Chains A and B, each alone.
Chain A
Amino acid sequence: MRVTLNATCITREKWSLSAHGRFTEGIHLVSGDIGSGKTTLALILAGLLQPSAGTVDREHVSSLMVSFQFPEYHVTGSTVMDECTSWGIDPSATVKAANLSGKEDLSPLRLSRGELKRLHLACVMARDYDLLVLDEPFSSLDCREKERYCADISRRTKGITVIFTHEQMIFPRVDFIWEISGGVLHCRGRVPEALAGWEHAPQLVKQLLARGKIPHNITPADLLEAACRT
């Protein structure tokens, strides 16, 4: 199971993005500044946008899902229960997972952005996909929800999970780090070796590396362990 970007390039007026590389099974983190092309690359990976040049090969990928940054776009149900059903999942369990008990009959659009994001992510995580692309999954979530959701992502052991984010505080366990810099997608390699070359690394990670304390991964627990290491 893998997704290969073969000299892929997308151009819009004065802006362009080039990407070449292979996404294998595991959790991939793609970081980059706002406007660097993370969402565009997410759509290309999922086959929802055709690149201007190059090709995208998805091998043995039979199911895929993209989670957009704005959860409103995914809403097709008139109530929270209907919305869960539209994903083909058990509504009761999903509502409970999203901490929305008692709001089953509300319109999803009546929920706050944070609640809707929680509902959407619970729906996405309720099923297994060969390729799961998450575009800014941590936006609109508070720290506690980010940690809870990161733990959910970290438990994914099958398939390819690609997370596009500019989050700087709370991360799930990741296997590979990529970043978009200067209009080019760079593969920094496997964690923890990749941390040294990660330009968009959070300040905490940079400080730990400067002190020679290399964290095993970038989850809050791993960073805490590295910081407390003597």
Chain B
Amino acid sequence: MQDIRLRTGTAVLLCISAFISIPGAAAACIWWIVFTGRFSRAQIRVIIPVAAMIAFFSIVLALTGGDGVSYFIRMMVIILIGFWMYAEQKSGEFLKLGVWLMGNHVGFELGMLADMGLQTMHLLVSDFNQIRIAETLKGIRPGWKTLVPAGFVLVNGALSRAENTAELMAVRGYRDGGMLCPEFTTPGRDILSSLSALCVLIIAFIPVSEFFILYR
């Protein structure tokens, strides 16, 4: 999807649908397969530990009397939507969206913050890969024990970068807000997939039995 407004709106609708009910999660999953349905090898490497973590909490929920299976299915669909949103994101899009939504003051600030956050995410992934290589060179097998020092390096690096960025912006005279005239490209396919996401939300709200009643 090229239009950030439709992409964000679609992601919100799909996440709400998946969270509300199992039919909503199933419909959102079908939407994901039809309109995206692709993973890079790097994404699969990240999804597996995330899935394992959700599975752990689902088991805990099931053991304490909750519906662990439902939780797992709904959360996994939300994760898939999140991965799709992250993979499609391009630098500067949140800034455009922020200004379009809330203007050149608050919108600019929030959009810039979101874009900087995303940029930090990319840098963290890159840093983590470098740390893994350095561990391999030292003969250290990556595992749970190595996550703590790696985490320290990542957090330390992110805080240091944030501090440097803030100082640089202050030195350059930035105070708040800015001027931007956002432009968007909206292909027909974006509108189609957004309308489909709306249908997914309707399915999530209407009980499945109602459909069968309509068929009768």
Contact = CB atoms under 8 A, between A and B. Distances in A.
B134 interface: yes
A109 B150 CA distance: 11
Interface in A67-121: 68, 70, 72-78, 86-88, 107, 109
A76 B152 CA distance: 9
A65 B139 CA distance: 10
A66 interface: yes
Give the size range of B's interface with the partner: 10 to 19
Contact of A77 (B130, B139, B149, B157): B149
Contact of B138 (A68, A70, A86, A109): A86
B190 interface: no
Contacts of A77: 149
Contacts of A109: 152-153, 156
Contacts of A86: 138, 140
Give the size range of A's interface with the partner: 10 to 19
B109 interface: no
B133 A78 contact: no
B135 interface: yes
B149 A75 contact: yes
Given A65-B137, A66-B137, A78 B149 contact: yes
Nearest to B150: A76
Among all A-B residue pairs, the 8 with the closest Cβ atoms = A73-B130, A74-B134, A76-B149, A73-B134, A109-B156, A73-B131, A72-B153, A48-B133
